[in-house]
Amino acid sequence: MKTVLVTGASGFIGFHLSRLLCKNYTVVGIDNINSYYAASLKEDRLNLLKLENSENFFFKKVDLCNRKSLKRLFESYKFDYVINLAAQAGVRYSLENPDAYIQSNIIGFHNLLDTLKERKVEHFIYASSSSVYGMNNKNIFNRHDSTDAPVSLYAATKKSNEIIAHSYAHLYDIPTTGLRFFTVYGPWGRPDMAYFSFTKKILNEETINVFGDGSSLRDYTYISDVTNCIKNIIVKPPINNFKYSESNAKFQIYNIGNNRPVKLINFINTLEDIIGKNANLKFIENQKGDVPLTFADIDDTIGEFDYDPRVSINEGLLSFYKWYKEYYNVSI
């Protein structure tokens, strides 16, 4: 059985991906379990992973910024695949604490890649973000579009990841794939995400601040659609370069979205219907760093990996709310 390293394993996507991969691989998950949001949620994810997969899931508390810990990890295991989902997330938080993004998303990312250059792995996969498209004026974001104008530090760090990853793929022949995620949501999600905080505020009859007029569009992508796609990508490392045919670097980037953007106000209305309560809305100015639209062109992802995002926003939010009620003992 091959071995996969999943960084950020106690995080939202890392938890769900590890859970899926344990069916076919030995999974080693690492995380620094930082305090960006409640560590108890991360611990509960890990406890469930360990309970369900006691024979083929192993967790190590490792911070990517600690090179010595990384080196010891790679001396203890031989990884066939490495999937980097560890990052400081959140566009708005990058305005408050930019240092966290430089440490985790730049220094930590570089440390991992620099460790990999001395070891042969079959495929290195890492999380990028739809945020890299910045103020792109196109209605649908194609993976070949320009990403030279990020509008948040978070987006800039993700763009930097893509550039650093390309250089290491070129220099050290590391087959590398970047994944631009489009607003991933679902059970066990991050409390800082809109759908999570909206749910809490609707239940508590608190005011929801709506940035802009509610017409912004997001390509909400359900977690199982994302993880099933990554599972297919793992075994298909790139053999050429997605943008430069003259390059020998085995380097690809793909969009992972739902291809069906939803207006923010419609998103809130769907939550209201599912919960059975009306939201108290307050419309305020747009937040710096936000973009008005995310809409993924996923034709290449569909064609190369049989990607089939099938979960509608109604189904996805209903699944999330069922989990939320059980996890937080909500009686409504």
Side chain identity, residue 297: D
Query: Is 279:208 a contact under the CB 8 Å cutoff?
Result: yes
The answer, as to whether pTM is greater than 0.85, is yes
**In the prediction, which pLDDT does 290 show?**
64
The CA–CA distances, whole Å, from 41 to 34, 159, 168, 237 equal: 11, 29, 34, 33
**In the prediction, which pLDDT does 54 show?**
86
pLDDT digits (tens, 9 = 90+) for 182-200: 999 999 999 999 999 999 9
Query: Is 294:221 a contact under the CB 8 Å cutoff?
Result: no
Angle between helices 313-327 and 264-275 (to 10 degrees): 50
pLDDT digits (tens, 9 = 90+) for 122-138: 999 999 999 999 877 77
> Is 168 one of the catalytic residues?
no
Side chain identity, residue 226: V
Would you state the CATH architecture of domain 3-186+222-257+295-310? 3-Layer(aba) Sandwich (3.40)
Query: Which residue in the list 25, 36, 154, 195 is annotated as catalytic?
Result: 154
Query: How far is the C-alpha of 271 from the C-alpha of 264, rounded, in Å?
Result: 11
Residue 322's CB: how many other CB atoms inside 10 A?
12
**Positions in the chain whose pLDDT score sits under 70:** 287-292
- Sorted by where each begins, the domain ranges of the chain are 3-186+222-257+295-310
**In the prediction, which pLDDT does 176 show?**
98
Query: Is 234:4 a contact under the CB 8 Å cutoff?
Result: yes
**Phi and psi at residue 51, in whole multiples of 5°?**
-65, -45
